[in-house]
Amino acid sequence: MSQDLPKRRQIYEGKAKVLFEGPEPGTLVQYFKDDTTAFNAEKHEVMDGKGVLNLRISEYIFAELEKDGVPTHFIETLGPREQLVREAEIIPLEVVMRNVAAGSLVKRLGLSEGETLPRPLIEFYYKDDALGDPLISEDHIAVFGWCSAEELDEITGLARKINKRMSALFEAAGIRLVDFKLEFGRVQDGGAQRIVLADEISPDSCRLWDMQSNEKMDKDRFRQDLGGMVDAYQQVAARLGLTSDI
Ligand code: TMP
- Domain range for 190: 89-227
CA–CA distance, 160 with 169 (Å, rounded to integer): 14
CA 196 to each of CA 148, 192, 228: distance values in angstroms, whole numbers, following the listed order? 15, 13, 33
* Co-location of 94 and 80 in the same domain: no
Q: Tens digit of pLDDT for each residue in 131-153?
A: 999 999 999 999 999 999 999 99
Read off the pLDDT band of 1 (50, 70, 90): very low
Cβ < 6 Å from ligand 1: which residues?
Answer: 96, 103-105, 133, 179-181, 205-207
* Co-location of 17 and 68 in the same domain: yes
Give domain status of residue 213, yes or no.
yes
Q: Is the pLDDT of residue 46 over 70?
A: yes
* Co-location of 159 and 199 in the same domain: yes
Cβ count within 10 A of residue 10: 13
Cβ count within 10 A of residue 188: 13
Give domain status of residue 200, yes or no.
yes
User: What mean pLDDT comes out for the span 214-236?
Assistant: 98
pLDDT for position 241: 97
Backbone angles phi, psi at 238, to 5 degrees: -65, -45
Q: Tens digit of pLDDT for each residue in 84-93?
A: 999 999 999 9
Per DSSP, the residues of 81-141 read TEEEEE--EE-SEEEEEEEE--HHHHHHHTPPTTPEEEEEEEEEEE--GGGT--EE-HHHH
Tell me the pTM.
Answer: 0.96
Atom of ligand 1 nearest to the CA of 40: 18
Atom of ligand 1 nearest to the CA of 206: 10
Q: Tens digit of pLDDT for each residue in 168-182?
A: 999 999 999 999 999
Of the residues 96, 170, 222, which should be mutated to test ligand 1's pocket, given the most ligand atoms within 8 Å of the CB? Answer: 96
The structural domain count of the chain equals 2
Q: Is the pLDDT of residue 35 over 60?
A: yes
Q: Tens digit of pLDDT for each residue in 54-71?
A: 999 999 999 999 999 999
Q: Is the pLDDT of residue 161 over 80?
A: yes
* Co-location of 209 and 95 in the same domain: yes
pLDDT for position 2: 55
CA–CA distance, 14 with 89 (Å, rounded to integer): 15
Q: Which helix (H) or strand (E) holds 147?
A: none
What average pLDDT does the chain have?
A: 96
Q: Tens digit of pLDDT for each residue in 181-195?
A: 999 999 998 889 999
* Co-location of 60 and 104 in the same domain: no
Q: Are 28 and 22 in contact (CB under 8 A)?
A: yes
CATH number of the domain bearing residue 79: 3.30.200.20
CATH number of the domain bearing residue 139: 3.30.470.20
